[in-house]
Structures are given as C-alpha cells and as structure tokens.
C-alpha cells in the first residue's frame, strides 16, 4: 500500500491514480446507476503506460535539477566576482593589445542557459569582442565539463542546411576529401553529403563524437593529425574557440597544398551574445587580424542575413 500511495502521488500531476480492478468495477457500476449526472467511463491504462509516464516525469525532474544547479553555480560565481576589485588594465585575447580597462567598451548580456551575467569587452585596437572573463579563466577540463553538463539538459538546433551551404562555398570536387570541423554528434550534414557522393569526414572532440560509431567520425586530435584535407568547413564554431589563432593555425596545417577553409558564423557580428559559450565576436578589423595572425588570406566573403561566411587559404 505504501508503494501504491507513493506512485499515486507521482501520478497526481497527470490526474491519474492506480486502483484495484475490483474497486474500479464497483466505482464504474455506482457511477452508471447515479441519477445525479452522467459520468464518463473511467479510463484504464496499462502498467507499461504508467511506467512510461513515471519515467518521463522523473527525467523532467532530473533535468530541472541540473538546470537549477547550473543557475545556482553561476549565481554564486557572479556574486563572488562582484566583490573583487576590477583590474586596472586589460589585454585583448585576440590581438594582444594592452590598455587601461577604461579604454575597452563594455558589453553586458545575460545567459539564457543559466550562466548568469555576461560581461565582455571590445578591443579598441582590433574591434574584437571577447569574454566573459569568467569563462576565459576556466581550464580546458573545466570548460569541457561545463559543456558536458550543458548538453545533458539542452540540445542544439538543426544547422544542417547552413553546414551544407558552408561546404559548397568551398567549390568542392568529388575527388577531394573534406572535413566538417566541430560537426557535433547531432549533425546530419556529413551523412547527407556522403550519401550524395562527397568524401566528407567529421571531427567532433566533444564526447558526442565518441558516441558515434561511424568510420567517418573522428573524435581524437591524434587521429585527425594523420589526415590531410582539400578543404575544411565549420558552422557556428569559431565563436567557441578559447584560443582562435591557435585553432586556425592548427586547422591550416591539416590542409593539402592549395586547400581552403570555409567558416560560417553569425558571430562575425555581435549576434547570439546571450550564451556564455560564445567567447569571441569578430567585428570590424578583427576579421583581418584573425587571418593575418593565423597566416591566412581571406579569399572571399559572403553575407546573407545571418549567414556570414569567410573563405581562407594559407599564406605562402
């Protein structure tokens, strides 16, 4: 009886209760004889259906708990940061220019994924917007853990069409081999392109890449470094890099002679600033600075609404 009471308490949110079949028959019979008002027949559900409802409810509660933990963690961090003295000077995370803090424009937002206040700075020399500093200070292991927790309760939107458009911006050939860098375990673009006859592979260092057993999905940097590509493409990736210059240089070393890179992100403007995971926005002069410092040439540029794409080649 104790178990039944507990289960019925869980089911109360669905307006469902477990009763004995004899009790159900008696209640149905009494309701049918009632002269007061007609009563709709009582529904009978299977134990399997009840188990599914309970499992769904528990899953929802677990996700709510994780989201609450995320919000609480970053709220505490924000409170602690508010007590610390502001630095006198600041160094741009992209071009390396150092100035008094007052020389940097401050841009403030709020993370819709429970990450609290987002305070970023715009470099007066190269126009790059970088931050929030609380994310920049995380170690690689801490940042990876934050992503893992985030993806346990949130899902990425479908960017398949944008990824395919970014791929075709390379003017690919069927003889070439291409890489979707940071494809995401949820991506369908590589599968679609391969079905169309393109030799495309995917690189995803996040654990979602490990979960895929497809031979064309690469999840380790060691494996990646043994392959050369005619082209590399990414969608919504550059803004996530903690060290974009280092990442761009590393990618360029994966190219065959004459190979190109195609990178698309709305964060070539100050868009989608409402997530703590977007660490860089490449505004104004920073687009050329990014290419120059990574030893790359900008071959072409396309802007069509939020589809902002740059094609790069290696400088010789």
Query: Which positions ≥6 away from 211 have C-beta within 8 Å?
Result: 185
In a domain? residue 51: no
pLDDT at site 21: 65
State whether 183 and 147 are in the same domain.
Answer: no
In a domain, 128, yes or no: yes
Q: Which two tokens stand for residue 246?
A: 């280092």
209 and 305 fall within a common domain? yes
Judge if 12 and 148 occupy the same domain: no
Q: Are residues 20 and 38 in the same domain?
A: yes
Cβ atoms of residues 8 and 18 within 8 Å: yes
Residue 58 located in a structural domain: no
β-pairing, 129-130 vs 177-181, is: unpaired
> Could you say which DSSP state residue 218 is in?
E
Number of domains in the chain: 3
Of 256, 249, 262, 239, residue with least CA distance to 181:
262
Residue 32 domain-assigned? Answer: yes
Domain boundary among 95, 120, 153: 153
CATH number at residue 302: 3.40.50.150
| Phi-psi domain of 39 (left: phi exceeds 0; alpha: psi -120 through 50; beta: other) | beta
Residue that has been written with the tokens 């507990």 in this structure: 6
- Give the per-residue pLDDT at 213: 67
- 113 plus 168 within the same structural domain: no
Single out the residue in 108, 133, 153 at which a domain terminates.
153
Q: Can you tell me the distance from the alpha carbon of 287 to that of 133, in angstroms, rounded to the nearest whole number?
A: 21
Domain boundary among 153, 182, 203: 153
> Which domain range does residue 37 map to?
2-44
Based on the fold, state whether residues 253 and 180 are members of the same structural domain: yes
- Which letter does DSSP use for residue 55 in this model? H
Q: What is the DSSP string of 165-211?
A: HHHHTT---TTSEEEEET--TT--HHHHHHHTT-EEEEE--SHHHHT
Kindly give the confidence (pLDDT) of every residue in the chain, 316 residues in length, as a single tens digit, with 9 standing for 90 and above: 555 565 566 556 555 666 566 665 676 666 666 655 555 555 555 666 666 667 666 777 788 888 989 999 999 999 999 898 999 999 999 999 999 999 999 999 999 999 999 999 999 999 999 999 999 999 999 999 999 999 888 887 888 999 999 999 999 999 999 999 998 766 799 999 999 999 999 998 876 545 556 888 998 889 999 999 999 999 999 999 999 999 999 999 999 999 999 999 999 999 999 999 999 999 999 999 999 999 999 999 999 999 999 999 999 8
Q: pLDDT value at position 73?
A: 93
Helix, strand, coil share of the chain (percent; to 5) = 40, 20, 35
∠26-30-34 over CA atoms, to 5°?
A: 170
The two tokens of residue 7 are 């289960």
Per-residue pLDDT, 189: 94
C-alpha 261/C-alpha 138 separation (Å) is: 28
Domain co-membership, 216 together with 98: no
Nearest-angstrom CA–CA distance, 223 and 202: 12
Distance CA 57, CA 228 (A): 48
Measured CA to CA, the distance from residue 69 to residue 62 in angstroms comes to: 11
The answer to the question of residue 175 being in a domain is yes
pLDDT reported for residue 41: 56
Is 67 inside any structural domain? Answer: no
Q: Is residue 80 part of a domain?
A: no
Q: Helices 47-83 and 140-153 sit at what angle, rounded to 10 degrees?
A: 140
Which position has the token pair 């790069």?
312
**Statement to judge: residues 165 and 133 lie in one domain:** no
Residue 272, domain member (yes or no): yes
- Please check whether residues 122 and 181 belong to one and the same domain: no
Q: What is the pLDDT of residue 214?
A: 82
199, 295: one domain: yes
Q: What is the largest CA-CA distance in the chain?
A: 93
Q: Are residues 277 and 176 in the same domain?
A: yes
**What order of strands is seen across the sheet that includes strand 217-218?**
217-218, 199-203, 177-181, 229-235, 255-264, 307-314, 296-304
Residue 33 has what pLDDT?
67
190 shares its domain with 213: yes
In sequence order, what are the residues at sequence separation of 6 or more whose Cβ sits closer than 8 angstroms to the Cβ of residue 220?
Answer: 205
The pLDDT, as a whole number, for residue 197 is 97
């Amino acid at each position: 009886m104790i178990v039944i009471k507990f289960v019925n308490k869980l089911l109360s949110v669905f307006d469902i209760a477990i009763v004995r079949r004899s009790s159900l028959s008696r209640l149905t019979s009494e309701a049918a004889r009632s002269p007061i008002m007609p009563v709709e027949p009582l529904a009978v559900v299977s134990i399997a259906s009840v188990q599914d409802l309970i499992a769904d409810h528990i899953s929802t509660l677990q996700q709510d708990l994780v989201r609450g933990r995320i919000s609480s963690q970053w709220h505490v961090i924000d409170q602690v940061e508010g007590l610390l003295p502001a630095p006198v000077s600041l160094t741009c995370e992209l071009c390396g220019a150092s100035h008094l803090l007052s020389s940097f424009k401050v841009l403030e937002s709020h993370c819709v994924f429970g990450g609290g206040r987002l305070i970023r700075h715009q470099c007066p020399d190269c126009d790059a917007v970088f931050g929030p500093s609380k994310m920049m200070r995380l170690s690689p292991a801490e940042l990876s853990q934050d992503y893992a927790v985030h993806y346990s309760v949130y899902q990425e939107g479908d960017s398949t069409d944008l990824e395919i458009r970014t791929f075709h911006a390379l003017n690919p050939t069927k003889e070439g081999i291409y890489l979707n860098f940071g494809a995401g375990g949820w991506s369908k673009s590589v599968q679609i392109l391969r079905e169309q006859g393109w030799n495309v592979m995917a690189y995803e260092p996040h654990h979602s890449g490990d979960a895929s057993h497809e031979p064309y999905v690469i999840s380790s940097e060691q494996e990646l470094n043994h392959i050369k590509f005619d082209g590399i493409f990414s969608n919504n990736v550059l803004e996530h890099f903690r060290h974009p210059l280092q990442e761009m240089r590393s990618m360029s070393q994966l190219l065959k002679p004459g190979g190109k890179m195609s990178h698309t992100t709305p964060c070539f403007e100050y868009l989608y600033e409402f997530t703590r995971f977007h660490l860089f926005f490449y505004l104004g002069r920073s687009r050329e600075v990014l290419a120059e410092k990574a030893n790359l040439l900008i071959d072409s540029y396309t802007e069509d609404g939020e589809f902002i794409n740059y094609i790069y080649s290696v400088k010789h």
